[in-house]
Amino acid sequence: MQHLLLLHGAIGAKDQLEPLADSLKDKYIVHRFNFSGHGETAFQDDTFSIPYFAGNVLDYLRQNNIEQVTIFGYSMGGYVAMYLARFYPQMISRIVTLATKFYWNQAVAEKEIKMLDADKILEKLPAFARQLEKRHSPNDWKAVLNKTKEMLLQLGINNTLKLEDYTNISVPCLLLLGDKDKMITLEETVAVQRALANAEFKLLPDTAHPIEQVDISLLSSLIGGFVK
């Protein structure tokens, strides 16, 4: 069976991908892990970045003797997968992304980091704050947010992958976007799909950004249809 690696999004963790992993385990050898500083995985570096998280993936593949893998990346996980396809194509067989933000500038970054204010989350979304605290324990969830904000600001200044980078990716890709996703635009997703040499795009009906709100049976079916 093929190896399939599921990558979580920013401020997320591998536990969010457990339902998807369970739905795919009979077809693939499914892998999940936490990026450094996420979930129960300790911080290994002071700075979050896409290349750094890509390094986490490469380390995982080498430690598990995986020479080539298909990646499903949710949100930031999809961006990391694309970075790997751009610079380490020999290790990636296929990519499926969902709700991945490809376009970054300073205005976009400033807008995104406003949603990562720990004090405001505590005040207005205490249940979410408790969820983040539990998800990232024993790490400090506020540190995860702060390091993520720093990463997004740097992406705003210098987007790690420019549109022209995607023209150099030949790995087959399937880009998925929910029709009710308020964080990702249809335009940026289609622009990347058109820039890629071998890519498909599908719009998921009645689907918002959070992975917990995605129809797992539909997502599993789309992944299975693309990853043969």
- Per-residue pLDDT tens digits for 26-47: 999 999 999 999 998 888 877 8
> Is the Cα torsion angle 206, 189, 16, 9 positive or negative in sign?
negative
Give yes or no for a contact between 211 and 218, defined as CB atoms under 8 angstroms apart: no
Q: Domain 3-102+160-226's class?
A: alpha beta
Q: Which residue has the tokens 């420019």?
A: 162
- CA 9 to mean position of chain CA atoms: 4
pLDDT at site 109: 95
Contacts of 91 (CB under 8 A, 6+ apart): 58, 61, 67, 68, 69, 84
The pTM (predicted TM-score) of the whole model is 0.95
pLDDT tens-digit readout, 95-145: 999 999 999 999 999 999 999 999 999 999 999 999 999 999 999 999 999
Domain ranges of the chain: 3-102+160-226
Whether the Cβ atoms of residue 159 and residue 103 lie closer than 8 Å to each other: yes
- Average pLDDT of the residues in 189-196: 97
For residue 71, give both structure tokens.
């990646």
Distance of CA 18 to the CA centre of its chain: 15
Rg (CA), the chain: 16
